[in-house]
Chain A
Amino acid sequence: MTARYRGLGFDPVPGDPDAAGTAAAGFGTAADALTQVDPAVRRAREAAAGWSGPAAERFGTALDRVPADAEARADRLRAAAEVLSAWAGRVADHRRRADDLDARAAALRRGLAAAEDDVHSARNALDLASTPTAATAAGMEHAAAESALAGLEDELARVIAAARDLEREHTAAATAAADELDALRDVVAVERPAPERAIASAVDAVSGVTATMARLLSRGGGGERVPGAAAAFAGALVPAQTSRETIVVLEDPRR
């Protein structure tokens, strides 16, 4: 159980607004720095425009390696900073609400402990009542204590339910913010080949070649023997070609 929300017994609003705010500030600073890249590169190109020779070529090659999407990336970083700033504000607001609910829950738990004592005391008084009149009075007191206890339990349940609602709201907001960050990342991902796609392509190609080789080899058993590896391979190809099946060729996934 989190130390911050002992009254509730759980943390309905995980997250630190300061951490989110600091991350947002970092992205903002990065965006500002990236904004300087394109003008610096432009100025360098202008300064060296038309110059030829090995040194100029080395410079041109080096300059071409500078990512050309600095401004676009800066825009995405600013967008991410806005997402995180909004999230930080949301967390702060949710924390205030959670703090209020936690304070109420803590007070109710203290009241419950006292009410349980009252119920026990009333029960003892009822058990020890020596006269019908005393038993009637103790019975009424016990019933009132139990009623008070039940009332407090119901109130605590309502507070806990409100905290669960807040938790759901908080989680939904976090998911929305995460989706926005992922969307900003997806723009980046489109710009470079995903390793997964390259691997999948390679696996597909290998599977195709394996299947083709299996077909060739399975046909080889009944064919006539020919001397030499090249002739054997050419001989194995003939049945596949005459059957008009597609021969799958391994593609280089790096292309």
Chain B
Amino acid sequence: MSGYAADTGALDGAATRLRATADALAEVTVDPALAPLAGPPRLAGALAAFTEDTRAALTSTTTTLADAATALAAAGAAYAETEAEATAAFRGHLR
């Protein structure tokens, strides 16, 4: 499709959803302080490692989602601007 057929409402909605998902992930608490309390050292170590993996994954996913939301919002804004300029040029041409 051409850039002129993009649905800016859909882009905004998708960007908002990406942002909301990133925010929801950012609010998740996976507390590393719980691992030493959970049980014997073998279990505490395994839980600490799993927790660390999870925290890293959540951070990575949150960051990349937020970046994608920002990029999508920028794309939507760029489209809206392009469309406005094209519309103005078209009207000017008609006059």
Contacts and interface: CB of A to CB of B under 8 A. Distances in A.
Interface of A: 14-16, 19-20, 22-23, 26-27, 29-30, 33-34, 36-37, 40-41, 43-44, 46-56, 58-59, 61-63, 65-67, 70, 73, 77, 80, 84, 87, 91, 170-171, 174-175, 177-179, 181-182, 184-185, 188
B12 to A, nearest CB: 9
B60 interface: yes
Interface string B1-31: 1010111001101110110110011011111
> Do most interface residues of chain B lie in helix, strand or loop, or is the interface mixed?
helix
B46 interface: yes
Contacts of A14: 39-40
Contact of A66 (B10, B11, B46, B64): B64
B90 to A, nearest CB: 19
A29 to B, nearest CB: 5
A66 B57 CA distance: 10
8 contacts: A15-B37, A15-B39, A19-B34, A48-B11, A59-B68, A77-B54, A171-B40, A174-B39
The A interface is mostly helix, strand or loop, or mixed, namely helix
Contact of B42 (A16, A53, A174): A174
A67 B57 contact: yes
Contacts of A175: 40, 42-43
Contacts of A51: 1, 3, 6, 75, 79
B68 A178 contact: no
Contacts of B45: 178
A30 B58 contact: yes
Contact of A16 (B37, B46, B71): B37
